[in-house]
Amino acid sequence: MPAMEVMCCALRNGTSSTEIIACATREGLMNANAQNVFRFATPFAENGGESRALAAMILCGFEPPAQQVEFTDPQTGKRYRVDFLGRTRDGRIVVVDLDGLVKYTDAQMMDGRTLGGVIDDERERSEGLKRAGVDVIVRIRMDDLHDLEGLKQRLARTGVPLRRR
C-alpha cells in the first residue's frame, strides 16, 4: 500500500507514469508488485488515505473504481464529490467514501460548525447524493483497511464489482 501512496502522489504532482516506470526499470525495481502499482495508480487520489483505500480495494479483487466523481443534487443544486464510485452489474451506483475522523475534530476542517452541524451536513450530503442517483453509500475508515477480508465482504455485499479475471 505505501507504494501505491507514493505513486499516486507522484502522478498527482505531475510526474508522468512513463518517467516513473523508466526510473524503476533503470534501478532494477520493476517486479510484479511494482507493475501492479503502475497499472492501478491514478492522479485522482487526493491524499494518502485515498491511495491506501484504492490499493486495499484492488488487493481485495475489486474493479478499480472511478474517483472524485461529482454529483449535483437536483433539489438543492449543491455539488458533491465522492471518493470512489463503482457500478454494479445491474447498473446501480455504489459510492465508497473514506471518512477521516479529522473532519469531526479539527477546528479548521469544521469551519466554525459544531460537531452536530458537521454530522447534519454529512446526512444532508448523503441525502443529496441519493437524490442525484446514488443507490448505495458505503463509508469506510482507515481502520477498515487493516482487515482486508472484512473490507472485501462488506463491499461485496453492497455490490461493488469484482475484477473479472
Percentage of the chain lying above the pLDDT 70 cut? 92
Predicted confidence at residue 2, as pLDDT, reads: 67
Predicted confidence at residue 105, as pLDDT, reads: 66
Mean pLDDT value across residues 37-56: 85
Q: Contact at 8 Å (CB) between 69 and 110? A: no
Alpha helices in 46-106 (DSSP H): 48-59, 102-105
Cell of 80: 458533491
Q: Does the model's pTM come out above 0.85? A: no
